[in-house]
Amino acid sequence: MTLTTHARRRALAVAVPAVAAIALAGCASTDDGGAAGDQIIVGTTDSVTHLDPAGSYDNGSLTLQTQVFPYLVNTAPDSTDVVPDLAESAEFTGPTEFTVTLPEGLTWANGNELTSSDVKFTFDRQLAIADPNGPSSLLGNLDSVETPDGLTAVFHLKNADDQTFPHVLTSFPGAIVDDETFAADAVTPDDDIVEANAFGGPFSITDYTFNELIELTPNENYQGLVAPAANDGVLINYYAESSNLKLAVEDGSVDVAYRSLSPSDVDDLSGDDGLAVHEGPGGEIRYIVFNFDTQPYGAQTDDADPAKALAVRQALASLIDRDALSETVYDGTYTPLYSYVPEGFAGATEPLKELYGDGDGAPSAEAAEKVLSDAGVETPIALSLQYSPDHYGPNSADEYALIEQQLEADGLFDVTLAGTEWVQYSDDRVSDVYPAYQLGWFPDYSDADNYLTPFFRSENFLVNHYADEEVDQMIADQASEGDQAAREALLGDIQQKVAEDLSTVPYLQGAQVAVSASDVEGIVLDASFKLRMASITR
């Protein structure tokens, strides 16, 4: 695929010890800002938490941010290569130094200058705010950012030879924001951002009704990796129910339905000659999180006991029937997952298959009962289990009803199951409200590290009180290991260790899917795991 972007040469080196950059030739952009097409209507059930990149770490927010904020580097469409986006060049200039150069004359949609001060401000505020629902945990290796001049930003890293840092810049914390609009020490309200027109991506937001309707208009000041918008703009309609989203794409009320239709809906829609089903590489996972303070026998409970708490987690892991969840709830569109790094990523292993259940991937009540008995845990165990009915697709209720049934079938657990809508859920889960709860993960970038660092570092986005110094060191070691075989071995060691600690229980892996009218073009679902709306036309 030809990449259309600002016409100049660029450089990016991701193999770290080398100080020289790998040169990449940029392609010429159109002088007229791209051919205009009709306004595109996109429907989704993926709600936004915050428009401010410092206050959100979920796919619904990222999908919107991708359209309206600039990134220094990004994953090239239809590729896993990290290349300059807003930046003119980006390269390692030392083992702990990553230098970015901006082109001259950049401006935000509101006319404010876009300079290296915005870059420094963006990352300084991410670290300062460290919002529990934000992505600052991905910046654990960032020490500081300096700006020797208005076009240059130098990232100083704590650990040398960081193989993952360029990938991190393509993800949640990498969205650059206007230092004249955003607060330095607090999440900025959505309406303030929209009113200030503080956007630097392919689109600006010209109408904003939170999680109902958002209007995107092409940003004439945009410079970046992808071509200027090929359409006249985009309307994003938010739906509470996937059944309504299905009806909308069927009757033409929306041109594109993107996250989340049920597997049965996708199968049904695939038989409609007026519609097209688009699929992309997998990477989405489902898992259960344990709060180490409030789970049964957790550190802040009246009967706190680390050994018994671990036994409870191990018993749950032994009772989950992944094949049943895959086939009964998802018609095989999600497949069993036995590790933290899903199949298809370099370094992925399957330690949970051997450690729990029957040792070959199937559940085992006998194994669960033994681990509880050996730890002196009385049964049934009272477990409060929470899920979100509106954030992870329409099958979540069926998914967690079946999990409840699996846990209670042999009398080892007494589950209290409850559902909470996402806006409240995202606050509750980081406030010790849920002893055990559902989460899903849609990767920020295409590397195994993205399934480890955010979850298992001592300061992690789960905020579930799991911390292990050995795991911290192992994660740091793999990130700086330049030899691929040695790095994959380290990744396997981490997966084994966290599988033994079992702060989360992963169980399903899925793929990217969108459904559109058959005459819609330009939908790319690739390893960037981002839907870029600028290219969509009909």
Domains along the chain with CATH numbers:
9-238+520-535 (3.40.190.10), 282-512 (3.10.105.10)
Q: Which residues contact 271 (CB under 8 A, 6 or more apart)?
A: none
CA dihedral 373, 374, 378, 380 (to 10 degrees): -50
Nearest C-alpha neighbor of 159 from the set 105, 96, 203: 96
Half-sphere exposure of 113 (CA within 13 A, CB side): 9
CB 305 within 8 A of CB 312: no
In Å, how far are 173, 235, 292 from 202, measured between CA atoms? 18, 14, 42
Pairing of strands 335-336, 504-517: antiparallel
The structure tokens 């929209």 sit at 194
306-319 helix and 396-408 helix, angle to the nearest 10 degrees: 110
CB 116 within 8 A of CB 150: yes
pLDDT of residue 528: 83
Q: Which two tokens stand for residue 230?
A: 């090929």
Residue 2 to residue 480: CA distance in whole angstroms: 32
pTM here is 0.77
Return the amino acid letter for 365.
Answer: A
3-state DSSP helix/strand/coil % of the chain, to nearest 5: 30, 25, 45
pLDDT of residue 7: 29
The structure tokens 């130094």 sit at 97
CB 507 within 8 A of CB 334: no
At 41, phi and psi to the nearest 5?
Answer: -110, 120
Residues in the chain: 538
pLDDT along the chain (538 residues), means of 10: 28 32 30 57 95 95 97 87 95 97 98 98 98 91 97 96 93 97 98 98 98 97 94 97 95 95 90 94 92 98 98 98 96 92 91 98 98 98 96 91 98 98 93 97 88 93 96 94 94 98 97 94 90 95
CB 456 within 8 A of CB 85: no
Residue 501 to residue 4: CA distance in whole angstroms: 47
Nearest C-alpha neighbor of 329 from the set 507, 193, 469, 199: 507
Q: What angle do CA 239, 240, 243 make, to 5 degrees?
A: 80
Q: Provide the 10 A C-beta neighbour count for residue 375.
A: 17
Return the amino acid letter for 26.
Answer: G
Q: Which two tokens stand for residue 91?
A: 């390269």
Q: pLDDT tens, 260-309? A: 888 889 989 999 999 999 988 878 999 999 999 999 999 999 999 999 99
Pairing of strands 213-218, 203-209: antiparallel
Q: Which two tokens stand for residue 506?
A: 């992963």
Q: Does the bond joining 380 to the residue before it have cis omega, within 30 degrees of 0?
A: yes
In Å, how far are 51, 59, 77, 267 from 41, measured between CA atoms? 19, 19, 22, 22
Q: Which two tokens stand for residue 423?
A: 């806006």
Q: Which residues contact 441 (CB under 8 A, 6 or more apart)?
A: 284, 285, 287, 451
Q: Which two tokens stand for residue 143?
A: 């020490």
Nearest C-alpha neighbor of 219 from the set 228, 227, 210, 211: 228
Q: Which residues contact 386 (CB under 8 A, 6 or more apart)?
A: 417, 418, 419, 420, 425, 428, 429, 433, 434, 436, 437, 438
Q: Could you write out the DSSP letters of every residue in 362-416? A: S--HHHHHHHHHHHT--SSEEEEEEE-TTTS-TTHHHHHHHHHHHHHTTSSEEEE
Characterise 18 by phi-psi region: left (phi > 0), alpha (psi -120 to 50), beta (else): beta
User: What residues form DSSP beta bridges with 23?
Assistant: 11
Nearest C-alpha neighbor of 175 from the set 523, 479, 530: 530
